[in-house]
A and B are shown apart, each in its own frame.
Chain A
Amino acid sequence: MSDAQTPPSDFGVDEQNDFEPVQVFDDETNMDLRPGADNCYKCTACDTSCPVAEVDDDFPGPKFQGPEQWRLKRKGDEDIDDSIMSCSNCMRCDGACPSSVPLSQMHNTARGEYVDEQMDKLSREYVRNRILSNYRLLAELGSKVPRLTNFVMGNSLVQQVNEKLLGITAEREFPEFAEQTFREWWAERGGAKVSSEEKKIAYFHGCYSNYNTPEVAKALVRVYEEFGYEIAVPRQRCSGTPMFANGMLDDAERAAAVNVSEFDDLIDEGYDVVASCTSCSMSLKQEYPELFSFSGTERVSAHTFEAMEYLRVHEDLEAAIEDASVEEQSFAYHAPCHARNQGLDRQAVELFRELDGVVIEDVGDSCSGISGTYGWKEEKYDTSMKIGEEMFDHMHHAEGNVGMTECPTCSMQMEHGTGYDIKHPLQLLEEALV
């Protein structure tokens, strides 16, 4: 007989009914991830889904970075292990965990602490990461003189200097700045062309479609106006994605404060929030409520949608696509990790399969490997390309020689690895429906 027998009778039922939970943590404002850590039963589902661990034998994997590191930290003065900087923040571990351990939240918190307390603020790594994660500030400057910036940044000498001085890989071509940003175009056209009482969206365009690919943002505007939506384009900052990934939580918090306040005001007026970049929508939906607690954070999360998802939910997009046709073209589609985590990894293929003239193929469930700023780091470039190998291979074998994805940096990686042109699903929607 074991010790675990029926409880002794003097531990009576009445006493149990008197049980009242006690608040054991005195300070509720500090983030406490204990319940999440205790939910981990070490099944390793997260580790087997981690694209970095798959190619980098030295990376201890998400289970260590999350619950195990958290437990180690409770024991006293343990530092955060520096391998946290090798996590690419793809967030696949979140989707793999059968126990809903908040892995990416633990990683973001640990990375923030590591950068705050252990990283030398004068080091090349810190300076480089700060620059990369504040891409928007650079882009704002660069796009004032787009031709000059494109010329300078495309210069191989400049790229070498970037690599030697900053640790930004010289292997990649800098994305070109558009000659007119989306916001300039939006202002020039006089803002919204459609007004509506019932159908209103506030567009979170993010940095990339503003400065680099305004054609994606314009496609969104035209498609949504075709469906009769009134569009608002409020003031906005970076969604924070590159800042989380680099542990720059203070920068992220400042940007998030602006975004939440601007968009929450519009929700009051009946708008829903729509993003064309899946990392931006991910950030507003999941990372904001996990990491920040401004007033309105939860409400913005609940009202934010990815652009195609919103149309699928609110319009008969399927019927519209079935009635449409486009010139014959074939696509190799890659689902970004952050689309996967929102359950959106199959919607583009599912929908465009029904579009006359289009052949579209999913190039598999591997990560593209670039993970935002990760693949731009000189020391991470090889890992990034190794992760991407499977996707490149599948793209080469796909019938189409145009790539398609929702994520700006996945699209850089797809282009870099194959030389294909890459489109956003909204651009094909525009071609089909407008």
Chain B
Amino acid sequence: MPIRDDVLVVGGGLAATTAALAAAESGKKVRLVAHKKSTLRQASGLIDVLGYADGDGPHADPYAAMADLSEDHPYRILGEEAVREGLRIFDEAVGEMYAGGHTDTNALVPTYGGTVKPTARYPASVAPGLASIDEDTLFVGFEGTTDFAANVVAEHVANAGVPFETRGVTLPFPKRFRADARLTRFAKALDEDERVDRGVGVRRALADTVREHTSGEDRVGFPAMLGDVHGDEVREDLESRLGMSVFEVPTGPPSLLGLKLEDRLFDALDDAGVRIATGNPAVGYEADGDRIEAVYVDQKGSRVPYHAEQFVLATGGLVGKGIDSDREGVTEPLFDCHVPHAEDRYDWSEEAAFGDHAFARFGVVPDEEMRPTTASGEPQFENLRAAGGVVGGADVAREKSASGVSLATAAVAGGRAGEEA
């Protein structure tokens, strides 16, 4: 007797976890198989839905902007309700950890590059830093953390036209680490309030260092490194010592905000009774006609079948390796789903680096219940659905829609899979 579940979700990122949560709401037995540690740890932790459409934006109302998207965009195929359903599942999983659910309007979040990103949900620790809050802002970076240059961030944010003053300062962190120490090391020191010279805790020492630079400021922003497990405590501690609000700016990898979101979503999967097997890639499948019977996982050389009634493909896009390409063409490597693309590979991209590239929209073509379709428009398998980056039609990087597309497609794909299993 093989390993058998009602619903099998293949993937480990935001779409896969959300699809598994959606499927579990039906009460069915759900399993998630993922190759590596979740890609959420590479992500900013921001949940964007739609900031730009057809090159225009930033839009304040993502739902209104959906009308400007092309007809093959997942939002147009699934409708606004799917986005709202995806956000509901997300909001229930993360609870108080995130803000933004009180409104349909996009928030503008300063990022570590100094850009201001339109986003629908953001960690509570990011909330006091929103660009819509008219408060003069000091950005603090640290010597040795090369990917957060506070003065550059401050200048860029000012250039974005915010209605307040910004300033950046780079300070020595009160505790010395090796020259190439990662943000996670700083976070750990704050989390555990490690001692620095003369037995003073690092939180107090940090507040003392920063205080000398806060005159005339209303709030202070740090790269997202203010603790891990005890993040709320660290931020409250700093706020009370500095007498002003303190916020985090989302960073690139290693992204503490992404790591925390990963932990929270995997806890939510545990609470929902979802079974999880990570560490090995899905490499093949077995089908009876147009019904998939099992997905094969390569357990370090041996092929182990995972049986289920319904399957969700959430393996990511070109970057996540859910979509593959070479000089000959573009493929979906697991089920060999149809991925439309121009025959001549010079038509896959534009000259301008940030142009309207065709490759950015590569992916499977879903029907209205997220089943990947063949070239002739029929569902390729009756019990396979797709979610997240593997789905084509959206240029998520230009639109600032990656998380929203993941949530919406996962809500429908996972939800239907659960109902039908």
Contact surface of A with B, Cβ cutoff 8 Å = 1-2, 4-6, 43-45, 47-49, 54, 57-58, 60, 95-98, 100, 282, 285-286, 289, 298, 301-305, 309, 312-319, 340-347, 350
Q: Can you name 20 extra interface pairs (CB under 8 A) apart from A285-B299, A298-B301?
A: A44-B182, A44-B254, A47-B182, A48-B41, A49-B37, A57-B177, A57-B178, A95-B278, A96-B36, A98-B39, A282-B300, A285-B300, A301-B300, A309-B299, A314-B1, A315-B1, A316-B1, A342-B279, A343-B279, A345-B278
Q: How far is the CB of B272 from chain A (nearest CB, A)?
A: 14
Residues of A within 8 A of B278 (CB): 95, 340, 343, 345
Which of B2, B36, B277, B351 is in CB contact (< 8 Å) with A97? Answer: B36
B253 and A45 form a contact (CB under 8 A)? yes
Contact A342 to B185, CB < 8 A, known contacts A6-B351, A45-B42, A45-B253: no
Contact A45 to B41, CB < 8 A, known contacts A57-B178, A343-B278: yes
Contact A48 to B259, CB < 8 A, known contacts A285-B301, A342-B299: yes
Which of A44, A58, A350 is in CB contact (< 8 Å) with B275? Answer: A350
Cβ of B160 within 8 Å of any chain A Cβ, yes or no, is: no
Residues of A within 8 A of B276 (CB): 346
Sort A-B residue pairs by CB-CB distance and give the 6 closest, nearest first: A316-B1, A343-B279, A301-B301, A285-B300, A302-B301, A48-B254
Cβ of B287 within 8 Å of any chain A Cβ, yes or no, is: no
Residues of A within 8 A of B301 (CB): 285-286, 289, 298, 301-302, 304
B181 and A57 form a contact (CB under 8 A)? yes
Cβ of B140 within 8 Å of any chain A Cβ, yes or no, is: no
Residues of A within 8 A of B185 (CB): 57
Residues of A within 8 A of B180 (CB): 60
A-B pairs with beta carbons under 8 A, tally = 102
B36 and A346 form a contact (CB under 8 A)? no
Query: How many angstroms between the C-alpha atoms of A44 and B368 in the bound complex?
Result: 39
Which of B36, B177, B304, B351 is in CB contact (< 8 Å) with A5? Answer: B351
Residues of A within 8 A of B181 (CB): 57
30 A–B contacts from the bound complex (CB under 8 Å): A43-B42, A43-B253, A44-B253, A45-B41, A45-B253, A48-B254, A48-B259, A49-B37, A54-B188, A57-B185, A60-B180, A95-B37, A95-B279, A98-B42, A301-B300, A305-B302, A309-B299, A313-B304, A314-B1, A315-B1, A316-B1, A317-B1, A340-B278, A342-B279, A342-B300, A343-B33, A343-B277, A343-B279, A343-B299, A346-B276
A302 and B182 form a contact (CB under 8 A)? no
Give the residue name and chain of the B residue nearest to A273 (CB).
B302
Cβ of B325 within 8 Å of any chain A Cβ, yes or no, is: no
Query: How many angstroms between the C-alpha atoms of A89 and B253 in the bound complex?
Result: 24
Q: How far is the CB of B389 from chain A (nearest CB, A)?
A: 13
Q: How far is the CB of A67 from chain B (nearest CB, A)?
A: 15
Q: How far is the CB of B294 from chain A (nearest CB, A)?
A: 11
Residues of B within 8 A of A60 (CB): 178, 180
Contact A302 to B302, CB < 8 A, known contacts A48-B182, A48-B184, A346-B276: yes
Residues of A within 8 A of B351 (CB): 1, 5-6
Residues of A within 8 A of B33 (CB): 343
Residues of B within 8 A of A302 (CB): 301-303
A2 and B178 form a contact (CB under 8 A)? no
B299 and A319 form a contact (CB under 8 A)? no
Q: How far is the CB of A352 from chain B (nearest CB, A)?
A: 13
Query: How many angstroms between the C-alpha atoms of A316 and B42 in the bound complex?
Result: 38
B254 and A343 form a contact (CB under 8 A)? no
Query: How many angstroms between the C-alpha atoms of A366 and B181 in the bound complex?
Result: 21
Give the residue name and chain of the B residue nearest to A16 (CB).
B327
Give the residue name and chain of the A residue nearest to B259 (CB).
A48
Cβ of B280 within 8 Å of any chain A Cβ, yes or no, is: yes
Residues of B within 8 A of A97 (CB): 36
Residues of A within 8 A of B2 (CB): 313-314
Query: How many angstroms between the C-alpha atoms of A386 and B44 in the bound complex?
Result: 30
Query: How many angstroms between the C-alpha atoms of A313 and B280 in the bound complex?
Result: 15
Query: How many angstroms between the C-alpha atoms of A302 and B37 in the bound complex?
Result: 23
